[in-house]
A and B are shown apart, each in its own frame.
Chain A
Amino acid sequence: MGWTGLWIVLGTLLAGTLAGALLRWREGRIRPTRDEPAPTAELPTQVTEVLVAAPAVTLVQISTTFCSPCRHAHARLAALAESTPELHHVDLDVTHQPEVAHQLGVRRTPTTIAFDANGAELLRVSGVPVNDELLSALQPHFANR
């Protein structure tokens, strides 16, 4: 195979570098939800049953057993919820209920979705969130009490 093989290796490494750079860039980025979904109606029951009453915001973290960053995200979000009375954190393990992730449109873990008490999605973060950024993005929603 020789030269062809070498080109395939270089192409694969280039593709890997681009993918890696993209993933780095997306890691922990906060994506505000622009079009508000219809509250609760389409949400899986596994999500609706963990939402807590206003004024709180619930951070629903989607995890699987096979995901190491999920553990890091869990530790951070648990600490954040601990120190922020308006925040509630729930870690949903979807290893054996992938349909929940499918319904939410979550393809990679960890993905964290912030919901208000009515089940309206506020924002989502894929990867391990940065607490300070997450908190300032959520601050306006705390004010709407």
Chain B
Amino acid sequence: MSAGPPVDPRGPRFAAAITTVVLAIVLITSWWPLLAVQTVIFAVGAFIGLRYAPYSLLYRSLVAPRLSPTSEREDAAPLRFAQLVGFVFGLAGTVGYAADLMLLGVIATAFALFAAFLNAAFDFCLGCEVYLLLQRFAPATGNQA
């Protein structure tokens, strides 16, 4: 399965910045429908393609035209895997909040926030780099993508 064409590396970072803000708002307000929306956004990036991910559309239509073009390209597979990791945490968090399992909701959302923040602030893709570690705990993810 092809992960899709390579992308402008600033796009995912922009997406991570919005994700950071969204997840912070979720934690502060406990308003889980917002987390549900974010989870759907993760799902689009992971399962359908980065091209259709809402933040990516926002980047291409609003931000990219204002920046100088770059020839730098980043492979899509790691990014989609990271969206998948985000989706798993987002889903766990949404279920936690919705089912009144506050601890699950808060912990899952905080993990997602941690990863999104590392990506936005340090350009470090946690989900991508600890793929090996994740695989050791959850061998099933080894068959993805």
Q: Interface of A with B (CB < 8 Å)?
A: 1-2, 5-6, 8-9, 11-13, 15-17, 19-20, 23-24, 64-69, 71, 94-96, 98, 101-102, 106-109
A-B contact list, 14 entries, CB within 8 Å: A1-B27, A1-B29, A1-B106, A5-B28, A5-B30, A5-B106, A17-B121, A23-B122, A65-B145, A98-B142, A101-B132, A102-B136, A108-B129, A109-B132
Contact partner, B74, options A12, A19, A68, Cβ 8 Å = A68
Residues from chain A with Cβ under 8 Å of B129 in the complex: 67, 69, 108-109
* B117 located at the interface, meaning its Cβ lies under 8 Å from any Cβ of chain A in the complex: yes
Which partner residue on chain B sits nearest A17 by CB separation? Answer: B121
Which partner residue on chain B sits nearest A15 by CB separation? Answer: B114
A-B contact count (CB 8 A): 98
User: 0/1 per residue, B72-83, Cβ < 8 Å to A?
Assistant: 001101110110
CA of A20 to CA of B124 in the docked complex: distance in angstroms? Answer: 8
* B18 located at the interface, meaning its Cβ lies under 8 Å from any Cβ of chain A in the complex: no
Contact A2/B121 with A12-B114, A66-B81 known, Cβ cut-off 8 Å: no
Q: Smallest Cβ distance from A66 to chain B, in angstroms?
A: 4
Residues from chain A with Cβ under 8 Å of B27 in the complex: 1, 5-6, 8-9, 12
* B64 located at the interface, meaning its Cβ lies under 8 Å from any Cβ of chain A in the complex: no
Q: Interface of B with A (CB < 8 Å)?
A: 9, 24, 27-30, 74-75, 77-79, 81-82, 102, 106, 110, 113-114, 117-118, 121-122, 124-125, 127-133, 135-136, 142, 145
CA of A24 to CA of B130 in the docked complex: distance in angstroms? Answer: 16
Residues from chain A with Cβ under 8 Å of B136 in the complex: 98, 102
Is the pair B117, A68 in contact by a Cβ cutoff of 8 Å?
Answer: no
CA of A106 to CA of B135 in the docked complex: distance in angstroms? Answer: 13
Contact A20/B132 with A9-B28, A12-B114 known, Cβ cut-off 8 Å: no
Is the pair A108, B75 in contact by a Cβ cutoff of 8 Å?
Answer: no
Which partner residue on chain A sits nearest B120 by CB separation? Answer: A16
Q: Smallest Cβ distance from B87 to chain A, in angstroms?
A: 14
Which partner residue on chain B sits nearest A4 by CB separation? Answer: B106
Q: Smallest Cβ distance from B74 to chain A, in angstroms?
A: 5
CA of A109 to CA of B135 in the docked complex: distance in angstroms? Answer: 13
Contact partner, A66, options B28, B78, B113, B121, Cβ 8 Å = B78
Q: Smallest Cβ distance from A85 to chain B, in angstroms?
A: 30
Residues from chain B with Cβ under 8 Å of A5 in the complex: 27-30, 106
CA of A109 to CA of B81 in the docked complex: distance in angstroms? Answer: 14
Q: Smallest Cβ distance from B118 to chain A, in angstroms?
A: 5
Which partner residue on chain A sits nearest B144 by CB separation? Answer: A66
Is the pair B122, A66 in contact by a Cβ cutoff of 8 Å?
Answer: no
Q: Smallest Cβ distance from B71 to chain A, in angstroms?
A: 14
Q: Smallest Cβ distance from B13 to chain A, in angstroms?
A: 11
